[in-house]
């Protein structure tokens, strides 16, 4: 194994993100279109963030993110009109990041139902979750 085994159900230490953890970039727009994309292992890098956001942000967009420093640097390259960054874990800013926080919560519940996911199949689960969300949105619009 490339890592030491965790005995007695110990969790990976969450000081930032260890290289054992998979980083998933996600986003949602005003029309509830979502994306989930695997950004790699460990911390989100500027290079992976730029690659992920390349065809997802239009020039002149208004973007709201958490306070991660990578966003400020990379969003300048996309000529966004306005970038609002919020502390993601405070109740005062929940309304600003509520859509994405809600999306993360629903995804965590979806993954929890699977009782563990292999890293090599994670992308399939991301696509599956996005597909289910899209179908639900279509059903709501049809009613």
Confidence tier at 127 by pLDDT (50, 70, 90): very high
pLDDT over threshold 60, residue 47: yes
Residue among 2, 5, 23 at smallest CA distance from 14: 23
Q: How large is the C-alpha radius of gyration of the chain?
A: 17
pTM: 0.74
End-to-end CA distance of the chain: 51
The mean pLDDT of the chain is 82
From residue 129, alpha-carbon distances to 28, 54, 99, 134, 137 in Å are 13, 22, 16, 9, 12
Tell me if 129 sits within 8 A of 36, measured CB to CB. yes
Domains and CATH numbers, the chain: 22-133 (3.30.420)
Q: What is the dihedral of CA 41, 21, 29, 58, to 10 degrees?
A: -10
């Amino acid at each position: 194994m490339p890592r030491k085994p965790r005995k007695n159900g110990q969790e990976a230490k969450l000081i930032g993100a260890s290289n054992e953890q998979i980083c998933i970039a996600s986003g949602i727009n005003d029309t509830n279109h979502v994306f989930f994309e695997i950004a790699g292992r460990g911390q989100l890098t500027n290079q992976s963030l730029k690659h992920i956001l390349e065809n997802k942000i239009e020039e002149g967009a208004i973007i709201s993110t958490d306070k991660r420093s990578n966003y400020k640097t990379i969003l300048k390259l996309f000529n966004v009109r306005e970038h609002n960054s919020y502390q993601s874990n405070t109740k005062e800013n929940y309304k600003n990041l509520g859509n994405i926080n809600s999306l993360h919560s629903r995804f965590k519940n979806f993954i929890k139902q699977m009782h563990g996911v292999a890293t090599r199949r994670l992308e399939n689960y991301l696509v599956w979750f996005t597909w289910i969300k899209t179908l639900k949105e279509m059903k709501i619009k049809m009613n």
